Amino acid sequence: MVDQLNLGMLVLRLVFGLFLAYHGYNKFFGGGRIAGTAGWFGSMGFRAPRLQAVMAACTEIGAGVLLAAGLLTPFAAAGVIAVMIVAIVTSHWKVGFFIFKPGQGWEYCASIAVAALVIGTTGPGEWSIDHAIDLHFHDWSGLIIAAALGVGGAVAQLAAFYRPPSAS
């Protein structure tokens, strides 16, 4: 049973972590690159859109790689949660729940955030760097770190930088 749980956590961390890291990589090197991402962020109402594009890409890459590796797991989970909350609030909430709706609803971003919260809460499993270096978050500390820093980081970013265009 232990090996199945460790394998399951490894697969979950790798998929969600590396997919998110690749999403951040795409902001730097894909299609419109940082300039295109900054333009999109600016159109949504972000102040300092280039800074926000770089921060989003770096957070996605950093948190994604840390989550995949199982290193500083609750902190990595917090980064994932923060990015997903900001995406939900700024882009997906107004569309509704379902991702298949034009403009993409918030269901997928919320699923990623919940997966990160679960990983941050339960820990990365034995097949992780945290386990290899004997770094463990006991009791409820993983949940508290992931949730408080994730939600807090998203709220701070939105309060400091997000000014949605007024509906005219």
Positive or negative torsion for Cα 66, 70, 74, 77? positive
Q: Cα dist. 68→31, 44, 120, 121, 156 in Å?
A: 25, 30, 12, 15, 25
Among residues 138, 134, 22, the alpha carbon closest in space to that of 74 is found at 138
Residue 139: partners with Cβ closer than 8 Å, 6 or more residues away = none
pTM: 0.94
At 126, the pLDDT band (50, 70, 90 cuts) reads very high
In this predicted structure, the answer to whether residue 80 has a pLDDT above a threshold of 90 is: yes
pLDDT over 70 (residue 78): yes
pLDDT digits (tens, 9 = 90+) for 35-62: 999 999 999 999 999 999 999 999 999 9
Buried b (16+ CB within 10 A) or exposed e, 73-83: bbbbbbbbbbb
